[in-house]
Structure 1
Amino acid sequence: MTVTVVVGNPKAGGRTTAAGTALAEQLTGAAPDHVIELAELGPGLLGWGDEAVGAAKKTVQASSLVVFASPTYKATYTGLLKLFLDQFEGGTGLKDVVAVPLMLGGGPTHFLAPDLTLKPVLSEIGGTCALPGLYLVDSAWDGPELAAYVERWKPVADALTALR
């Protein structure tokens, strides 16, 4: 099983990366095989045909489980993540990929954002989105909410990835 974390934070290596990596580790019992920091792809995301973006896309498509992690900006995921997701074909771009939406924010106000904004896009491009989105307050992302989510949804992630 190949596990990838896609990080849509304009600042690489922050809490969004840590939370995405922790979620992937706890859902699968191992460190993710790949962590894709979209900030490192830079201007290549603005067009089509960039080699680094194409390689990142292929990595995601070859994965069994992908955590799509983003900070919350203006009540939704970042434009950086949107640019990357636009690279995928509708309906089939994430075929056979279990997609887990994760968003971090400054407070609980936007706790529905992963399910209302990110999950529909992941579904539209063919991701299997059987797990609910996870929203974490960024100052306490490693608190009990993460553990409770994993306890509840790890069996579902295990069952879905076993089918791949």
Structure 2
Amino acid sequence: MTVTVVVGNPKPASRTLTAATLVAKGLRPDAEPAVVDLVDFGAALLGWGDPGVAAAVRTVADSELVVFASPTFKATYTGLLKLFLEQFDGGTGLAGVLAVPVMLGAGPAHALAPDLLLKPVLVELGATAALPGLYLSDRTFLEDGVIDAYSERWRPVARALAVDAGVPDHA
């Protein structure tokens, strides 16, 4: 199974990247995720036609499971992630992709943001968003057990969806 992590944090090598990678590995421990850290693209995300951005779009569109992760900025996901998502065709750009929205924040005030704000965009782009979004504390996610509990609960669903899509289950 092809697994990718897309990170919309404007800081390189962020906690968001760490969390998203842990979620991807938790859901599909048999696959090493590719990483698209959007901060690496900078101004190239502002238009269309950049070869690096186009390659990242193809990587994501060709993946079977993609964790889309962002810190919570102004009660929603970052503009960096929005710019990247604008590169996909509406309705079909993420067809065949099982998308998992993940957001990190300082407190529980925006705990519904992954499902209320990020998931609808992913669905609009054609992704299957069958798993609930995951909101993590940016300070405690490494030790609070939330990623492990989420992975244990939803790994069978991710696996079943991959099998239904014709991907053999080797785990």
Band of TM-score, shorter chain = over 0.9
Q: Which moved more, 1:138-147 or 1:66-75?
A: 138-147
Instruction: Indicate the residue corresponding to 2:159 in structure 1.
Output: 158
Between Structure 1 and Structure 2, the one with more helix by share is: 1
For 1:66 and 1:83, the matched residues in 2 are separated by 17
Q: 1:36 corresponds to which residue?
A: 36
Letter paired with 2:150: Y
For residue 163 of structure 1, what is the amino acid of its counterpart? D
- TM-score after normalising by structure 2: 0.93
- Structure 1 position 31, deviation (Å): 5.0
Deviations 1:105-141 (A, max 9, x none): 0111100000000000000000000000000000011
State whether residues 21 and 31 of structure 1, in contact with CA within 8 Å, keep that contact through their aligned partners in structure 2: no
Answering whether residue 106 of structure 2 is matched by residue 88 of structure 1, we say no
How far 1:32 moved relative to its partner?
A: 3.1
1:63 aligns with 2:59: no
2:8/2:37 contact within 8 Å kept? yes
How many angstroms does 1:30 deviate by? Answer: 3.5
> Deviation at 1:150?
1.1
Q: Distance in 2 between matches of 1:30 and 1:82?
A: 29
Please say if 1:122 is aligned against 2:127: no
**TM-score, normalization by structure 1:** 0.97
5+ unaligned residues in a row in structure 2: which ranges? 166-171
Aligned match of 1:104:
104
What code does the residue aligned with 1:150 have? S
Q: Given that residues 5 and 32 in structure 1 are in contact (C-alpha distance below 8 angstroms), is that contact kept between their aligned partners in structure 2?
A: no
Q: Which letter maps to 1:159? A: A
- Corresponding residue pairs, total: 164
Are 1:136 and 2:130 counterparts? no
| Structure 1 runs, 4 residues or longer, greater than 6 Å off | none
Could you tell me how far 1:33 is from its partner in structure 2? 3.2
Q: Work out whether residues 60 and 66 of structure 2, in 8 Å CA contact, stay in contact via their aligned partners in 1.
A: yes
Contact kept in structure 1, 2:24 and 2:33, CA below 8 Å: no
Match of 2:24 in 1: 24
* Larger mean Cα displacement after TM superposition, 78-87 or 25-34: 25-34
Structure 1: tracts of 5 or more residues without a match: none
Contact 2:21 2:33 in 1 (8 A): no
SS in 2 for 1:91: coil
SS of aligned partner of 1:139: coil
Cα RMSD after superposing both structures: 0.9
- Report which stretch shifted further, 27-36 or 100-109: 27-36
Q: d(CA) in 2 for partners of 1:53 and 1:83?
A: 11
> 1:76-127: per-residue Cα shift (whole Å, max 9, x none)?
0000000000000111000000000000001111000000000000000000
3-state SS of 2:160 partner: helix
| Secondary structure in structure 2 of the residue aligned to 1:59 | helix
